[in-house]
């Protein structure tokens, strides 16, 4: 849990300190989104990449928590393997995050900065459920 909170704090810090113009849709974002959408259980996806961080929101039809955590781990591993410069991957199926990332792609720099701050606030407040009811923190993220 501590690593996840540190990762979320890192996302917020990097995002707030670097220029917002770097968030413009890139080929990397499009490529990651296409790769994620090609997965069997992913219905839709949207991606934001900032420096070495990728935030991927998905719509999925997986039923169990275990399937969901396995899918997240698979996606994070695939992204990290293909894009060596991306060392931190956050995958979520949160509909609010998905909607926020979609909106970001259509905004000008000022609007994007405001929405991104709201998104980072939401990310920092998402409760992280324990996998299979164990005491271990799930690790579907690549944290460098």
Residue 74 falls within a domain, yes or no?
yes
If you average pLDDT over every residue of the chain, what do you get?
75
Residue 138 lies in a domain: no
Residue 91 lies in a domain: yes
What does the pLDDT read at residue 3?
Answer: 52
Q: Do the beta carbons of residue 58 and residue 37 sit within 8 Å?
A: no
Write out the H or E segment, with its range, that includes residue 27.
helix 27-37
**Residue 139, in any domain of the structure:** no
Backbone angles phi, psi at 72, to 5 degrees: -60, -45
What pLDDT, on the 0 to 100 scale, is given for residue 26?
67
* Residue 85 covered by a domain: yes
Tell me whether residue 144 is in a domain.
no
65 part of a folded domain: yes
Kindly report, residue by residue over 123-137, the tens digit of the pLDDT.
Answer: 677 766 554 444 444
- 3-29 b/e with 16+ CB inside 10 Å = b? ebeebbeebbebbeeeebeebeeeebb
pLDDT in tens, 47-64: 887 778 889 999 998 878
- Domain with 104, as residue range(s), is 2-133
Q: What is the CATH number of the domain that holds 46?
A: 3.30.70.1350
Asked which of 37-46, 82-91, 120-129 is least confident by mean pLDDT, the reply is 120-129
User: Is 142 within a domain?
Assistant: no
Task: Give the pTM.
Answer: 0.63
Are the C-beta atoms of 144 and 52 separated by less than 8 Å? Answer: yes
Q: How many domains in the chain?
A: 1
């Amino acid at each position: 849990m501590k690593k996840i909170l540190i990762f979320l704090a890192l996302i917020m810090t990097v995002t707030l300190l670097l220029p917002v113009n770097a968030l413009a849709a890139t080929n990397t974002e499009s490529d990651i989104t296409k790769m994620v959408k090609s997965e069997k259980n992913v219905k839709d996806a949207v991606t934001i990449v900032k420096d070495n961080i990728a935030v991927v929101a998905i719509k999925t039809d997986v039923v169990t928590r275990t399937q969901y955590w396995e899918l997240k781990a698979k996606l994070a591993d695939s992204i990290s393997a293909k894009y060596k410069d991306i060392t931190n991957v956050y995958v979520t199926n949160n509909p609010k995050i998905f909607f926020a990332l979609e909106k970001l792609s259509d905004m000008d720099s000022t609007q994007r900065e405001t929405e991104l701050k709201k998104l980072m606030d939401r990310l920092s407040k998402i409760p992280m459920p324990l996998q299979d009811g164990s005491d271990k923190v799930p690790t579907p993220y690549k944290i460098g």
